[in-house]
Amino acid sequence: MRKFIAVSTQEDKKSIWKGHFGVSPIYSIFDSDGKLIEQRKNPYAGGGKHHDDPDLIVNFLSDVKTFIAKNMGQKSRERLIKKLGIESVLVDEGDIYDAINYYIEAKKNIDVFEECHDKYEEWFDKNKAVYESELKMLEGLIPKDKKGIEIGVGSGRFAYPLGIKDGVEPSREMAKIAIERGINVHYGFAEKLPLKDNEYDYALIAVTICFVKDAMKALKEINRILKPNGEVIVAIVDKDSRIGKEYLNKKEKGKFYKNVNFFSTEEIKDMLKQSGFSIKAVKQTLFGDSIKTIDRAQEPKDGYGEGGFVAVVGVKNG
Q: What is the pLDDT of residues 12-56, one digit of tens each?
A: 999 999 988 988 999 999 999 999 999 999 998 875 444 557 888
State which CATH number among 3.40.50.800, 3.30.2130.10, 3.40.50.300, 3.30.420.130 fits the domain covering 4-105: 3.30.420.130
Mean pLDDT by 10 residues, the chain (318 residues): 95 94 94 96 72 79 94 81 84 94 88 83 93 97 96 97 97 93 94 94 96 94 97 96 80 64 95 98 96 94 97 95
| pLDDT at residue 250 in the model | 65
- Secondary structure (3-state) at 62: coil
| pLDDT at residue 252 in the model | 55
| pLDDT at residue 283 in the model | 98
Across-strand partners of 91? none
| pLDDT at residue 118 in the model | 87
Q: How far apart are CA 260 and CA 104, in angstroms?
A: 15
Across-strand partners of 87? 66
Tell me, letter by letter, the H, E, C secondary structure of the chain: CCCEEEEEECCCCCEECCCEHHHCCEEEEECCCCCEEEEEECCCCCCCCCCCCHHHHHHHCCCEEEEEECECCHHHHHHHHHHCCCEEEECCCCEHHHHHHHHHHHHHHHHHHHHHHHHHHHHHHHCHHHHHHHHHHHHCCCCCCCCEEEECCCCCCCHHHHCCCEEEECCHHHHHHHHHCCCEEEECECCECCCCCCCEEEEEEECHHHCCCCHHHHHHHHHHHEEEEEEEEEEEECCCCHHHHHHHHHHHHCCCCCCCCCCCHHHHHHHHHHCCEEEEEEEEECCCCCHHHCCCCCCCEECCCCCCEEEEEEEECC
| pLDDT at residue 47 in the model | 56
| pLDDT at residue 52 in the model | 57
Q: How far apart are CA 131 and CA 125, in angstroms?
A: 8
Q: Superfamily assignment of 127-316 in CATH?
A: Vaccinia Virus protein VP39 (3.40.50.150)
In the chain, CATH 3.40.50.150 covers 127-316
- Please say whether the beta carbons of 209 and 218 come within 8 A: yes
Q: What pTM value is reported for the model?
A: 0.88
| pLDDT at residue 255 in the model | 63
In the chain, CATH 3.30.420.130 covers 4-105
